[in-house]
Structures are given as structure tokens and as C-alpha cells.
Amino acid sequence: MQADLIVGIQWGDEGKGKIVDLLAQKYDYVVRYQGGHNAGHTIVIDGTKYALHLIPSGVLNPKAINVIGNGVVIAPDELLKEMAQFGDLRDRLFISEHAHLILDCHIAFDRAKETSLGGKAIGTTGCGIGPAYADKISRVGLRLCDLRNEAVMLEAIIARGGQLGIAVQDKATLKACVSRWADQLLPFAANATDILWDALDRNKKVLLEGAQGTLLDIDHGTYPFVTSSSTVAAGACTGTGLSPKEIGKVIGIAKAYCTRVGFGPFATEQINTTGDRLRTQGDEFGTTTGRPRRCGWFDVPLAKHACRINGVDELALMKLDVFDGFHMIEVCTKYENNRPVYKSFAGWKSLAGCRSFDDLPEPAKVYVLALEEMIGTKIALISTGADRNDTIYR
Ligand code: IMP
């Protein structure tokens, strides 16, 4: 058996949470493989909103087992806060003992660095992601398994704070923290790679859930305005220990328009009433930071690039209903002299109640089919609203 994979093909916030939630009902295992609590998946079930940051979306399916892979970086208190929402997670949540920890000094360092960069800041989420991954790559990081020796862990945290020039909490408070983390997190620490190999060997269905998006990838994104992990499909291999041969279907998630949070290039951005309207109608505010997202038109060349990098088999097109009431919709079809060239499409009144492709108004069908044709990848699912039921399968 191979694992299926979900990956954002833009700058994150494509609506992966809704798709993973829908699919999580059909999978035995749901796995996060990179990123940390900078991610924010909002899932709406019967009108109730759940904001997930670190725990895989399978947590909302009582039968699914959730795995946090070695490629994820974990802020212990953030994870514990999130876990507390779901009652007893034993036997339903496994965390790679090799996942690296985000310490308070990483968070403080991330924020101080952004402030010192002034106009050149990345616009990070301030979650300590970059400094934690930097420590991992520099081979000075602390992992979940290191909590097994609390005394060594305590000294290491104090030393790391000192090296980064960040004042850490007094030793007694920190000691209590380390003890609490060890007590509450070590019961979930596991060899996540073995768990996933075993699941695939037993023909269990495994879903790998990417966070952020392709254009935020440390290697393939709009560097340096990226996150610090491998957000592309290949990151699932390093972030779990599964081999490329164990990855099956790759589902790319695209929003019907583009958004990005933080700074960095965004050629189709609309800094005008169109962008404002997309932000309002699409409720484009960060789940983690509440920041308003930058909004603009769909970018076909970037989508094609992302589909190739990830080996996308099929696409899910999200938030198509956000265009309700738009008279005209534009799409960047190519670049000439580094400038986007647009094609215009007619808009529509409303997608409310559309539950099949045939239900869609003609202009919406034209828009979807044109994107599919230009990207060269099947759009197998269309989302017309936040609720699970507002979903069209093709
Ligand atoms: P960091 O991941 O906090 O270091 O932030 C680096 C860049 O990635 C910033 O532009 C963030 O806004 C962006 N980013 C990080 N996580 C997400 C996400 O889940 N959705 C969208 N953008 C994100």
C-alpha cells in the first residue's frame, strides 16, 4: 500500500484543512510531516469551527490515528494546549521522538530578528519556526526524545538561550516546565517511521498532510520569503521516513484565487478594491496570527510549476464561491517581460446550493474548465463553501 499526500500549491491557506478533514473520514492514519504551529487549518463541521495548528486533521475522525512526523517542529506548550481540546488522545496520537522542539528562546529570537530586519523582514508568524529548524540543521537542536533526560534537557535549554542572547526563565520555573513536558508528551513519543511502515504493510490507508504551500518551500519557494521547511511533496519522505516509492496519489490544493501572508513577491496581487473584496468575501485573515492576507488573481504559471514539483495527480479547487457577485474574474495565463498577462472571465451571481458540477452556473463551469486546461491537471474536487457539504466531486 502507498500513502496519499495533500499539498498546497500556492502560498498556503489554500483550504487544505477542509480537504484533509473530508478525506480523514476515509483514512486510517493522518500524518503531519513538516512545519509547526505556524500552520493553521480551520475546519467547519455543522457550523462549528475548529482551528488546528499541529495535530493532524484526522483528530476529528474518532477512528483515525494521528502521527506527527520527525520533520515537524513542536512548541510543547502549544501542542499541549491543542491536545487539551480533544480529551484522551492515547493510542490516537503518536509523535516522532525525533521531532525537534521549538523553545521559548527560538520564539523570542524569531521575533527579535524580524524587528531588527525592519523593512527587510520576512513577515514570519513569530512562532520560532526558522530558529528551531536552524538549530536542527546546525545539529544543536533538542528533540522530543531528549526530554527523557530532564536534567540534561534543562541545562541545554539554558545554554541555548545564552548562545542566542535570549534571557530564559528562572531555573526553577524552567525545571517545572521540562518536567511537565516530559510527563505529558513522552507518553506519545514513538518511532513514527516504524508505525507508518507497519501501517502500510498492513494495507492501512495513510494520508500525508502538508502544511503551508509549495511557494513557501525553503528550496522551491520565493526565497528568502519562505518558511524554513520542505513544504513540497518530497518533504513528506524526509519528514516521515517513507520512501518516494511509498507515496501514491498526490492531491494538490489550490484556491480559486491567490493569497499570501507576510512579505515577498506576489505578481498578481490586487492592492485595490478587488483585493479588498476578495479578503472580505473570502475571510482572508490568518488562522494563526489574524493578519489580513494579501489577495490577487489566480496564477497559472505558478500553479503549473507547483504541480510539476509535487507530481500532482489531481487538484482540488477551493473557495470558488468567494467570486460570487464578481462581474469579471481575471487569471494570469503567462508572463511577458516578467509581467503577468491576464485573461478575463465572466463572473456569476451565486454558487449557493450547488452540489454537482451540473448545478454550477455556466460562467463558473467555464472558469473551472479553463483553469484545468491551462494547468494541465484534472480538477477533481471543487469547494463552494466552508462546510463539508459544500463540495463537488468530479
Ligand atoms: P514562518 O514559517 O513563521 O517562519 O514564516 C515564514 C513565511 O511563511 C511568512 O511569510 C509567513 O506568513 C508564511 N507562513 C508560515 N506558515 C504559514 C501558513 O500556515 N499559511 C500561510 N503562510 C504561512
Identity of the residue numbered 250: V
Taking only the tens place, the pLDDT of each residue in 134-176 is: 999 999 999 999 999 999 999 999 999 999 999 888 999 999 9
How far is residue 68's CA from residue 78's CA, in Å, rounded to a whole number?
Answer: 14
Q: What's the pLDDT band for 60 if we cut at 50, 70, 90?
A: confident
- DSSP of 193-228, one letter per residue? HHHHHHHHHTT--EEEE--S-GGG-TTTSSTTSS-S
What would the pLDDT profile of 267-303 be if each residue is shown by its tens digit? 999 999 999 999 999 999 987 778 899 999 999 999 9
For the CA of 126, the nearest atom of ligand 1: 3
How far is 15 from 8, CA to CA, in rounded Å? 8
CA distance 56 to 128: 20
Q: Higher model confidence: residue 85 or residue 195?
A: 195
| Mean pLDDT score, 192-203 | 98
Residue 143 one-letter amino acid: R
Q: What pLDDT is stored for residue 351 in this prediction?
A: 96
- pLDDT confidence band for 216 (50 / 70 / 90): very high
In contact, 7 and 308? CB cutoff 8 Å: no
Nearest CA to ligand 1 atom 9: 124
Q: Which residues contact 100 (CB under 8 A, 6 or more apart)?
A: 73, 74, 132, 133, 135, 136, 141, 142, 143, 144
In contact, 306 and 312? CB cutoff 8 Å: yes
- Residue spans of alpha helices (H) in 36-137: 76-84, 104-117, 129-137
Distance, CA of 179 to CA of 155 (rounded, Å): 13
Q: Cell numbers for 317, please give them.
A: 479547487
Instruction: Yes or no: say if 24 and 64 are a contact pair by the CB < 8 Å rule.
Output: yes
Give the Cα separation of 217 and 11 in Å (integer).
Answer: 9
Residue 97's pLDDT is: 98
pLDDT, tens digit, 9 for 90 and up, residues 372-384? 999 999 999 999 9
Residues belonging to the chain: 394
pLDDT in the model for residue 21: 82
Candidates 41, 53, 100, 106; catalytic one: 41
Average of per-residue pLDDT across 5-19: 94
- Which one of 215, 253, 258, 261 would you pick to mutate in the ligand 1 pocket, going by the greatest count of ligand atoms within 8 A of its CB? 261
Q: Which of 53, 137, 216 to mutate to test the pocket of ligand 1 (most atoms within 8 A of CB)?
A: 216
Q: How far apart are the first and last CA of the chain?
A: 25
Contact 207, 3 (CB under 8 A): yes
Alpha carbons 51 and 157: distance in angstroms, whole number: 29
How remote is the CA of residue 124 from the centroid of ligand 1, in Å?
A: 6
Which of ligand 1's atoms lies nearest the C-alpha of 216? 8
41 part of the active site: yes
**Single-letter amino acid, residue 40:** G
* Residues with C-beta less than 6 Å from any ligand 1 atom: 11-13, 38-40, 122-125, 127, 129-130, 211-212, 216, 225, 227-228, 261-262
CA 13 vs CA 52, 82, 177, 215: distances in Å:
13, 19, 32, 11
Q: How far apart are CA 51 and CA 288, in angstroms?
A: 9
Are 193 and 241 a contacting pair, CB within 8 Å? yes
Of the candidates 198, 391, 223, the one whose C-alpha atom is nearest the C-alpha of residue 231 is: 223
pLDDT at residue 205 above 80?
yes
- pLDDT confidence of residue 95: 98
Which of 124, 127, 284 to probe ligand 1 with, by most ligand atoms within 8 A of CB? 124
Q: What is the mean pLDDT of residues 308-317?
A: 98
Kindly give the distance from the C-alpha atom of residue 65 to the centroid of ligand 1, in angstroms, as a whole number: 27
Q: Write down the pLDDT at residue 45.
A: 67
Q: Tell me: the pLDDT tens digits for 236-276?
A: 999 999 999 999 999 999 999 999 999 999 999 999 999 99
Measured at the CA of 233, the angle between CA 41 and CA 256, to 5 degrees, comes to 55
At 281, which amino acid appears? Q
Instruction: Report whether pLDDT(91) > 90.
Output: yes
Provide, rounded to the nearest whole percent, the portion of the chain with pLDDT above 70.
Answer: 99
- 11 Cα: distance to centroid of ligand 1 (angstroms): 8
Q: Whose CA is nearest to atom 21 of ligand 1?
A: 12
> Catalytic: 13?
yes
